[in-house]
Chains A and B, each alone.
Chain A
Amino acid sequence: MITRFAFTLCLVTLGCAVFAQGPRPSNLGASSLDLGESGIQWYTTWESAEAEAKRSGRAIMFVAAATQCHGVSGVF
């Protein structure tokens, strides 16, 4: 549903972990989204996200996250 209303960008180069001063990585569990189900359709470069935002006129939710934690890949 969020995909209908929010134009989103994931910049996969910064930081580690995406939540506030809340849980630490060691306390995080599994995603609430079931495998194979539809989630957010991210744009993963700024250039493509900006182009789509200008094309469609939708706002941008900019998220900076990394696909590693403590150097271990394959996780946000």
Chain B
Amino acid sequence: MLAPDGQEWLSRASRGPEQVLGRSGATQALNRFALMYPAKANTKDAFVQDFHSFRQALNVASADQRVLVLVNAPAEQEAKLRESLRSVANDGAVIGRFHFDFDQGTQWKTNIDGTSDKSGIVLIRPGEFGLKGKVLKQLPLDTENEQIIASMQKANDQFAATTEKKVYSQHVAKGTRQGVYFEGAVPYGEDRDGDGQVDRRGGGRGRGGFGGRGAGGRPTP
């Protein structure tokens, strides 16, 4: 836990919520921090989320099993949209149900079905492994906020009704069998012993793991 300045540590860091927030319950602990730092500005005006890349946004949306809202606008319109969409992203019917990404290029279309040539607000259903996606709805950039929210609700309902909930272990096993591999910026694996290094034995892909290729079965970047 960090203070609003992003510098002061309010708790120690650890891998588990119990070690950070205590065993009395995460919600209770978070309430204490909320009382220490009450909001001094309207939370309805909170900034809209963004990602470093569309690739990562699609992957996160897939992992969280949420519809991805891509704002694909020319550079000169993006700042204005970041402002106007605050009330959309913080609407009670929307918050916590979607991920948002701003992307100006056309590269994002590479692995997405149903794209058009126009810019717009694009509601995307992420694929099972976050490597592909499908456009559920595309709205013009000047769409009224109420209409955006209504379209998002409809997309969310459609997504929830037609998507199977992931089971973590089964998902990873299936991905391993299919040869799914997501290239990342840091070495893969776990640091279960907390020494700051990826475990080479025990925490990696060892016997009985997913696919049994052995720890470090693929070269780390």
Contacts and interface: CB of A to CB of B under 8 A. Distances in A.
A23 B210 CA distance: 15
Interface in B15-42: 15-19, 26-27, 30-31, 33-34, 36-41
B4 A59 contact: yes
B36 A59 contact: yes
Given A39-B96, A56-B40, A62-B1, A73 B131 contact: yes
A39 B64 contact: yes
Given A6-B30, A26-B210, A70-B205, A56 B130 contact: no
A22 B175 CA distance: 23
Given A26-B209, A36-B160, A44-B50, A6 B18 contact: no
B4 A60 contact: yes
Contacts of A29: 167-169
Contacts of B108: none
Nearest to A7: B4
A68 B47 contact: no
Contacts of B167: 29-30
A62 B15 contact: no
B39 A1 contact: no
Interface stretch (B71-79, B114-122, B134-142, B184-192): B184-192
Q: Which of B16, B19, B182, B210 has the most CB of A within 10 A?
A: B182
Contacts of A22: 16
Interface string B95-116: 1110100000000000000000
Given A57-B4, A72-B181, A40 B60 contact: no
8 contacts: A2-B27, A16-B188, A30-B166, A34-B160, A36-B156, A57-B4, A74-B127, A75-B62
